[in-house]
Chains A and B, each alone.
Chain A
Amino acid sequence: MNDVDTGMESLLEAFIYETNEMLDQLDEILLESEKEKTISENNINSIFRITHTIKGSAAMLEFDEMSTLAHAVEDVFYIIREDISKLDIVFDELFDLVFQSSDFLRKEITAVQAGNYTPSDASALISSFHNLAAVMKGEEPAAQQVAENAPQQEQPAVVEEQPAPVATGGHEAGDVLQVRVFFQDGCQMENMRSFMLISQLKGCCGTVESIPDHPERDAATSAEIVKNGLVVCCSGFDSEDDVIKVIEQALNIKSYEVISEGELSAEQPQQEVPASTTPATPQPEKVEEKPAVQAEPVAPQPKAKQATVETSKPAASAQPAASAAANANANAAKAGVKQSLISVNQSKLDHLMDLVGEIVTAESMVVRDPDLEGLRLDHFTKSVRELRKLTDELQDVVMSIRMLPLHGTFQKMSRIVRDMAKKLGKQAELVTYGGDTEIDKTINDAIADPLMHMIRNSMDHAIELPEERVAMGKPAMGKVMLSARNVGGEILLDVSDDGCGLDPKKLLAKAREKGLLVKPESEYTDKEAYQLIMLAGFSTNQEVTEYSGRGVGMDVVRKNIEKVGGSIVIHSELGKGTTFSIKIPLTLAIVDGMNLSVGDTVLTLPITSIKQSFKVTDPEQIIRNSNGSEMIMVRGECLPILRLHEMYQIEPKCTNITDGILIQIENSSANACIFADELLGEYQVVVKPFPKFFNKYDLKSQGLSGCSILGDGTVSLILDANALINNL
């Protein structure tokens, strides 16, 4: 199907959006699972659901290839869902294939979106999946027998327990709860299900002890669980109801009962004796193993249990369980949030933002209306205050709508690290911090590319091969770190690696070769040398690889970051690693600015770039250069002075330096002073880009980053400290 019927368009839009979301989710699950070397049941179900939905909606829109591929993936996960042990047989192949399919689907979706969709051939992928399925199925008879034989023998012996009356009286201050859980007949993998349940219980209880202990370690415990049920002993919970609820909501539970202390110990002999960890173990031994439980039937049992927990449970096994539980909780929370979300076209949000900006402007126009001057308006003032409160709130809400957590962007990066590590034969992991930092959507989009580029660079050039790393005394597993934090109106993003670091000498030699040096080589500090890699046409890697090294790397990164008002600095230590520190504003749309006047023109300078402002009292303080430029000593530093009226050809109110005011501005590397007539005060301004008409004139390079509408309806120009300093 080459083009899509117009009636299907909204359906198609929904499909594209939904599928993209789901593919992101799929990637996330896969990455997480690959790291843990297993897939939790929840995640298998999610993958199953995702592929199933894609299959269905693709088929509805007659994207047959996509649908067939999704179907193939679904098939494979169906097998895994039935028997998770099969996963190990094909673990690596499976993940590679699913990643490839997710990429394939993404590419197709992009093509559909672009409107020139011709189905690509997915048959290679599909047949790989069929092969995989065949491999897994080929093993099936053997595997199934082992799994099924045991339960089949035991099953007749299972006597369905009638839920005994809940005897809470026997509890010690109510802080221990014992529950016997039976799984559905023939649901298989009882030991893993038990493990899942225990993990889930750990989400709401301090300690969870089970009989048999650690069912996940020995598949043979399945038989025991089928026969006697899983006895879980929870303590440190908030309320029994919570625990019961978790059990009730767990999958494949047939029945459960709450048992009192006495009951358990009374049942113990008949219950526990056949319940040996391995069917072959002679029974007497088993009894000996449990004396603690049996000898002290009533009171001290929790303590005894506690002891077993401490001695028998290595910390390592407790941790994954806890994290699995945490994940399950997070997933549950996510699922809860998703339902209350709606997706909105971004242009509508932009429009809303514009309107709010106008309302803010209009409000101050009304309030400061010259007709009202000198009038006593008590009621009016009161209403105005109310209005201002509301508009402020409205503005905050609209701003927050546009804020997105960086999590999604980070997620994509871990995918890149994973893929490149595999391709390049390197070992590396991506560690991210502060993924929940929220940032304006526009900026979020704008930094995705630069981040990707830097991560690729780190993987390609910085992280060494495992052998080399070991030889250098570093862990074989390289580390790429991505961290974000919010520091007063700005986001600090760090991309760092523990790779080979930058060699200033090599950088300088290379820059000399390319004719990029602007001063004698010996005058370059290391810090300056590092920044050289961000010059256009600079790439130190000799070979061009698939991922990087085309010489258009870091300068594009720098440009992209500067485009959203950010800056980037590089720190590096040879042999230890490199850190790229990026500073970007939280939002582009509203800026806290200081308004300055120069003649009739009002200029707005972002507060963040102002260091201080001061009046020059004595013209003697000014140092004049022979070429006419002026400088001033501020706290032992000699700073150039930039007269705005000269730069922008504005007729000023004052040209005498003692009449006006100097404002010290800074960017990441330098300081300067600008000269204006006077300060008008601090305002929040809505940043608007210049009309397209001016694209030709490159106002940005002249230190003007945009404009803004002031309370009186006139337009102010927003200054860009960075460009101003670069202009000097």
Chain B
Amino acid sequence: MAGEVLSMEQDRRTELEDRYLLFYIEQMLHSVELQYVIEIITVQRVTHLPNLPEYVKGIINLRGKVIPVIDIRLKLGMEERPYDDKTCIVVIDINEMHIGLIVDSVSEVVTISEESISATPPGDVAAKYIASISTHNGTTVLNIDCEKLFVNDLETVVANA
């Protein structure tokens, strides 16, 4: 019984492995591993919370669950831009914690084989958030490392838990 569950879990893993969700930030294709992604929703009204870092936009209601929303442009040190009808919130799950990422627009889900992934060039922002770089149909894709992205926010969460 327990074994069955385990193998199902493994199936899910392999199914999601090498699959990435592509989205645009500032005309650049970024991606996150599909295994983190819960769903994609349209931008809703965000309730602002006081005295938080600028990139934390506030909280939204995701079917009865209150989740924090983060503007990934601000998190990556880019300029904020007004939301339009293409702006989406990508809801990801890191260590059982749901977080909404505001992205300019979502592109597609693709399989990127390991061979086409190359290591990150050294650099400040890149070293912090970008796990690797790959190409898809001739375009460069920056793979965001979700766990690294929130390492600062999660640190204390883990400590508090």
Give A residues with C-beta under 8 Å from B.
6, 354-355, 357-358, 361, 600-602, 647-650, 688, 690-697, 699, 702, 704, 707, 709, 713-717
Pair B50/A713 contact, Cβ less than 8 Å: no
Chain A residues whose CB sits within 8 angstroms of the CB of B50 once the complex forms? 647-650, 699, 702, 704
Pair A709/B2 contact, Cβ less than 8 Å: no
Contact of A601 among B47, B64, B99, B161 (CB under 8 A): B47
Contacts A707-B66, A714-B45: A693 and B61 contacting too (C-beta < 8 A)? no
Q: List 8 A-B contacts (CB under 8 A).
A: A357-B64, A649-B50, A690-B59, A691-B66, A695-B157, A714-B44, A715-B59, A715-B66
The 4 nearest A-B residue pairs measured at CB: A358-B64, A648-B50, A696-B156, A715-B47
Residue of B nearest to A710 (CB): B61
Chain B residues whose CB sits within 8 angstroms of the CB of A691 once the complex forms? 59, 66-68, 97-98
Knowing that A649-B51, A694-B52, A707-B47 touch, tell me 11 more A-B residue pairs with CB under 8 angstroms: A600-B45, A601-B47, A650-B48, A691-B68, A691-B97, A692-B97, A692-B157, A693-B97, A694-B49, A696-B156, A715-B59
Question: How far in angstroms is the closest Cβ of chain A from B51?
Answer: 6
Instruction: Let me know if B116 is at the binding interface, CB within 8 A.
Output: no
Residue of A nearest to B68 (CB): A693
Give Cα A714 to B156, complex, Å. 28
Chain B residues whose CB sits within 8 angstroms of the CB of A714 once the complex forms? 44-45, 47, 61
Pair A704/B66 contact, Cβ less than 8 Å: no
Chain B residues whose CB sits within 8 angstroms of the CB of A602 once the complex forms? 47
Pair B45/A6 contact, Cβ less than 8 Å: no
Instruction: Let me know if B160 is at the binding interface, CB within 8 A.
Output: yes
Question: How far in angstroms is the closest Cβ of chain B from A397?
Answer: 19
Chain B residues whose CB sits within 8 angstroms of the CB of A707 once the complex forms? 47, 59, 66
Give Cα A357 to B61, complex, Å. 13
Give Cα A697 to B60, complex, Å. 17
Chain A residues whose CB sits within 8 angstroms of the CB of B47 once the complex forms? 601-602, 707, 714-717
Give Cα A620 to B130, complex, Å. 58
Chain B residues whose CB sits within 8 angstroms of the CB of A692 once the complex forms? 97, 157, 160-161
Pair A696/B157 contact, Cβ less than 8 Å: yes
Chain B residues whose CB sits within 8 angstroms of the CB of A688 once the complex forms? 66
Pair B44/A697 contact, Cβ less than 8 Å: no
Pair B61/A713 contact, Cβ less than 8 Å: yes
Residue among B50, B99, B161 with the highest chain A CB neighbour number at 10 A: B50
- Per-residue CB proximity of B64-87 to A under 8 Å, as 1/0? 101110000000000000000000
Question: How far in angstroms is the closest Cβ of chain A from B62?
Answer: 10
Residue of A nearest to B2 (CB): A6
Contacts between chains A and B (CB distance < 8 A), count: 76
Residue of A nearest to B98 (CB): A691
Question: How far in angstroms is the closest Cβ of chain A from B118?
Answer: 32
Pair A601/B48 contact, Cβ less than 8 Å: yes
Question: How far in angstroms is the closest Cβ of chain B from A252?
Answer: 50
Instruction: Let me know if B153 is at the binding interface, CB within 8 A.
Output: yes
Pair B67/A709 contact, Cβ less than 8 Å: no
Pair A361/B156 contact, Cβ less than 8 Å: no
Give Cα A713 to B68, complex, Å. 15
Pair B63/A715 contact, Cβ less than 8 Å: no
Residue among B2, B44, B64 with the highest chain A CB neighbour number at 10 A: B64
Chain A residues whose CB sits within 8 angstroms of the CB of B49 once the complex forms? 694, 697, 699, 704, 717
- Per-residue CB proximity of B133-161 to A under 8 Å, as 1/0? 00000000000000000000100110011
Give Cα A648 to B66, complex, Å. 19
Give Cα A199 to B89, complex, Å. 72
Give Cα A709 to B68, complex, Å. 14
Question: How far in angstroms is the closest Cβ of chain A from B97?
Answer: 6
Question: How far in angstroms is the closest Cβ of chain A from B64?
Answer: 4
Pair B156/A715 contact, Cβ less than 8 Å: no
Chain B residues whose CB sits within 8 angstroms of the CB of A693 once the complex forms? 68, 97, 99, 153, 157
Give Cα A713 to B60, complex, Å. 9
Give Cα A648 to B48, complex, Å. 9
Pair B66/A709 contact, Cβ less than 8 Å: yes
Pair A713/B97 contact, Cβ less than 8 Å: no
Chain A residues whose CB sits within 8 angstroms of the CB of B156 once the complex forms? 695-696
Residue of B nearest to A708 (CB): B66
Give Cα A602 to B58, complex, Å. 13
Chain A residues whose CB sits within 8 angstroms of the CB of B157 once the complex forms? 692-693, 695-696
Chain A residues whose CB sits within 8 angstroms of the CB of B59 once the complex forms? 690-691, 707, 715
Give Cα A717 to B66, complex, Å. 11
Chain B residues whose CB sits within 8 angstroms of the CB of A696 once the complex forms? 153, 156-157, 160
Pair A358/B63 contact, Cβ less than 8 Å: yes
Residue among A354, A355, A692 with the highest chain B CB neighbour number at 10 A: A692
Chain B residues whose CB sits within 8 angstroms of the CB of A713 once the complex forms? 44, 61
Give Cα A308 to B98, complex, Å. 78
Give Cα A695 to B60, complex, Å. 17
Give Cα A276 to B29, complex, Å. 106
Pair B51/A697 contact, Cβ less than 8 Å: yes
Pair A697/B97 contact, Cβ less than 8 Å: no
Contacts A649-B50, A702-B51, A714-B45: A690 and B97 contacting too (C-beta < 8 A)? no
Chain A residues whose CB sits within 8 angstroms of the CB of B48 once the complex forms? 600-601, 648, 650
Residue of B nearest to A6 (CB): B2
Give Cα A715 to B47, complex, Å. 6
Pair B68/A695 contact, Cβ less than 8 Å: no
Chain B residues whose CB sits within 8 angstroms of the CB of A601 once the complex forms? 47-48
Chain A residues whose CB sits within 8 angstroms of the CB of B68 once the complex forms? 691, 693-694
Give Cα A479 to B61, complex, Å. 51
Give Cα A717 to B52, complex, Å. 15
Residue among B59, B63, B156, B161 with the highest chain A CB neighbour number at 10 A: B59
Chain A residues whose CB sits within 8 angstroms of the CB of B2 once the complex forms? 6
Chain B residues whose CB sits within 8 angstroms of the CB of A694 once the complex forms? 49, 52, 68
Question: How far in angstroms is the closest Cβ of chain B from A672?
Answer: 18
Residue of A nearest to B154 (CB): A693
Question: How far in angstroms is the closest Cβ of chain A from B151?
Answer: 12
Give Cα A354 to B65, complex, Å. 9
Chain B residues whose CB sits within 8 angstroms of the CB of A358 once the complex forms? 63-64
Give Cα A717 to B67, complex, Å. 13
Residue of B nearest to A357 (CB): B64
Contacts A702-B51, A717-B49: A709 and B61 contacting too (C-beta < 8 A)? yes
Residue among A357, A358, A649, A693 with the highest chain B CB neighbour number at 10 A: A693
Residue of A nearest to B46 (CB): A715
Chain A residues whose CB sits within 8 angstroms of the CB of B63 once the complex forms? 358
Give Cα A341 to B10, complex, Å. 40
Chain A residues whose CB sits within 8 angstroms of the CB of B66 once the complex forms? 688, 690-691, 707, 709, 715
Question: How far in angstroms is the closest Cβ of chain B from A723?
Answer: 13
Residue of A nearest to B53 (CB): A697
Chain A residues whose CB sits within 8 angstroms of the CB of B161 once the complex forms? 692
Give Cα A357 to B44, complex, Å. 20
Give Cα A315 to B17, complex, Å. 82
Pair A709/B52 contact, Cβ less than 8 Å: no
Give Cα A137 to B28, complex, Å. 89
Residue of B nearest to A691 (CB): B68
Chain B residues whose CB sits within 8 angstroms of the CB of A697 once the complex forms? 49, 51-52
